[in-house]
Structure 1
Amino acid sequence: MELLDLEIFSLVAKEQSVTRAAQLLQRVQSNVTTRVKQLEEELGVQLFSREGKRMTLTENGQRLLGYAHRMLTLAEEARQAMQSDVPVGKLRIGAMESTAAARLPGLLGAYQSLWPDVQLEISTGTTRALIDDVKASRLDCAFVAETDERAALEFNTDDDTSLAAVPVFREELLLLVPGRAGAASGSVAHFPLAAFPKGCTYRRLGEQWLESQHADAGSRPEIIEYHSYHAIFAAVSAGTAVAVFPKSVLATLAVASTVQSIPLTAIQTWMVSRPAYQSRSLDELSRLLPTF
């Protein structure tokens, strides 16, 4: 089993397509297909279910993918350690949508001006999904939001699954409400909550706030899921929902009189990584954090 085989396998799994994987790898499609088949023959298992042009992982494929991510990450870590004292190679960064939009541009711009040879890969997701991706070696680090209480349980503990976490900044959260609703909490509690999918910390805080406003114990607010802050803002502006919004994201939008905001709480954003992961590229990113 070669690292190239695992790289090809991982990319086909991610893209669910031999054609797209071949394009990204700049290889002919037949070569990618052959390498996948050879890997299956070597391991004696089927790694993909083939449905037309769509490739989905089998149970064995899912099992191998976890190993592949860890092996490729370790190989990249070793390569960087041997090449130079100067940061090089790839750094895979995850972030919440809000952090990617309002906080990362300046930080990553400064980083690239200092270390142009580092290839940055940025992906976004909910706090829960990002934490899982760091633990599974799909990401080298991630910027996530979590309350101090939960962070104390999950980060920097003696648990083998614990992540190292560095506090980066505190985010002011607002409850964004339709302008016609008024700012009184009771007048907005009946609105649905526009939010990202489950696993989003801001969604959880919004649900908890709305639940606390309902007189009948045990009732749960209606959730309408969106995948961008622009869509969430549009729903609030249209008068159909309320939403939890970071103040830093709201500052990037042209806010009209169709919305109002209610101070909700402040929450810490952390940069999390695996304690055993060693990378000069990540070290240099950490050194920049206090300035942003």
Structure 2
Amino acid sequence: MEVSELKIFLAVARNGSISRAAEELHCVQSNVTTRLKQMEERLGVALFHRKSKGVVLTHSGLLLMDYAERIVRLSKEAEDLVSDQDEPKGKLRVGTMETTAAVRLTPLMINYHQLYPRVELSLETGSSLESLKRLLNFRIDGAFVAGEITHNRLIAEKAFAEELVLVTASDITSLEQIENLKILVFRDGCSYREQLEEWLRRTGKLPYRIVEFGSLEGIMGCVAAGMGVSFLPRSVVQRPQYQDHCSFHRLPEDISNMTTWFVRRRDEVPGKAMQAFMDLIGLERG
């Protein structure tokens, strides 16, 4: 089997769709279909169950997937080790929480680009859970996440220490002033949201309604308008555009202290681009 075939197989497995895999691979759908059929004919087994909407891995496909991921990863590592002899170059994909991207990463990315202009550094924002899934599925190379990291395929290093604060409209001095409590949060999988809900349960501040947002600006704008409260890093709410419109309130240390981790795959040797990125952050092994 060729590495190119395995990449096609993995793209179809990740997307559950030949058409979406073709979009990801930037090739025509007929080419993906043909290469898959050739693999199946050569192996003498079906790798996917074809359904009216999409495809699902067969038992043989599931067995192949683990090996395919390892082969593709080792191939990339070999290429990197051979070609990565001079300055860092190539692509580096990093997942991040939106709050980290907004406050921490802009100066870091500018500095990195100035030092290593041949690296194509890109950010993908999402919840901690979304970033971990992308990392395990080889869609990104590393990720900034919050919360406890227990997966044995990942290694976590301390990137930033954050103090989380309760954020309200500027005229609110206590939660007791609020009727029909609403919490304004990111989608499920956000560690800050989980921490806030844990504190509300612990202190008996029930019931409350959840309003989900896809952006930091959306949350802060609605908090300022008095729509509800949120739980975010102090470094976010102390920015000038928010200070005059919102108030923040300290909570107990066991709730408010949270570490942002930089996570990568344990069995992958960092290339020069990744190592330079980690050196710039100044990571502390967790």
TM-score (norm 2): 0.80
Amino acid at match of 2:2: E
**Contact 2:13–2:57 (CA under 8 A) maintained in structure 1:** no
Q: Does 1:195 align with 2:196?
A: no
Q: Which residue of 1 aligns with 2:226?
A: 239
Matched residue, 2:110 = 109
Instruction: Give the CA deviation at 1:189.
Output: 8.1
Q: Sort the Cα spacing of 1:164 and 1:14 in 2 relative to 1 into closer, same or farther, 3 A.
A: closer
Q: Secondary structure at the match of 2:242?
A: coil
Describe how 1:14-33 pairs up with structure 2 within 5 A.
Answer: 14=14, 18-19=18-19, 21-22=21-22, 25-33=25-33
Instruction: In structure 1, list runs of 5 or more residues that go unmatched.
Output: 155-159
Write out per-residue CA displacement over residues 181-233 of structure 1, whole angstroms, 9 at most, x where no aligned residue. Answer: x1213334851222123322101111122223326xxx564322222212222
Distance 1:89 1:257, change over 3 A: closer
Deviations 1:50-109 (A, max 9, x none): 54xx63444555665554444322221111011132333332322112112222222223
2:45 aligned with 1:55: no
For residues 254 and 104 of structure 1, the distance between their equivalents in structure 2, rounded to whole angstroms, comes to 18
Aligned length: 275
- In the other structure, the counterpart of 2:217 is 230
Runs (4+) off by over 6 Å = none
The alignment's C-alpha RMSD in Å is 3.1
In structure 1, the partner of 2:129 is 128
Q: Indicate the percent of aligned positions where both proteins have the same amino acid.
A: 33
Identify which range, 70-79 or 18-27, moves more after superposition: 18-27
CA distance in structure 1 between the aligned counterparts of 2:140 and 2:179, rounded to whole angstroms: 37
State how far apart, in whole Å, the 1-side matches of 2:178 and 2:36 are. 54
Question: In the alignment, which residue of structure 1 is the partner of 2:157?
Answer: 166
- Tell me what 1:157 maps to: none
- Are the aligned partners of 1:135 and 1:161 in contact in 2 as well (CA < 8 Å)? no
Q: Whole-Å Cα distance in 2 between the matches of residues 7 and 109 of structure 1?
A: 32
Counterpart contact for 1:80–1:88, Cα < 8 Å: no
8 Å CA contact 2:94–2:122 kept in 1: the answer is yes
Instruction: Tell me the CA shift for residue 40 of structure 1.
Output: 3.8
CA distance 1:99–1:220, change in 2 (3 Å): same
Whether 2:237 is the aligned partner of 1:250: answer yes
* Cα distance in 1, alignment partners of residues 94 and 115 from structure 2: 17
Q: Distance in 1 between matches of 2:181 and 2:229?
A: 6
| CA distance in structure 2 between the partners assigned to 1:66 and 1:251 by the alignment | 46
Maintained 8 Å contact 2:94/2:142: yes
Aligned partner of 1:267: which letter?
Answer: M
The verdict on how the C-alpha distance between 1:193 and 1:71 changes in structure 2, with shifts beyond 3 A counting, is farther
SS at 1:171 equivalent: strand
Match of 1:290 in 2: 282
Confirm whether residue 209 of structure 1 aligns to residue 238 of structure 2.
no
**Post-superposition CA distance 1:92-145 (Å, at most 9, x none):** 322112112222222223223322333334322222333344345443221112
Q: Which is worse superposed, 247-256 or 223-232? A: 247-256
- Partners of 1:6 and 1:56 lie apart in 2 by 16
5+ residue gaps, structure 2, are none
The residue number in structure 1 matching 2:100 is: 99
Provide TM-score, normalisation by structure 1. Answer: 0.78
Q: Does 1:271 align with 2:271?
A: no
Q: 1:132 to 1:220 in 2, by over 3 A?
A: farther
How many Å separate the matches in 1 of 2:66 and 2:104?
Answer: 30
Residue type of the partner of 2:35? Answer: R
Deviation by residue 1:260-286 (Cα, 9 ceiling, x = unmatched) = 221342321111223332122221111
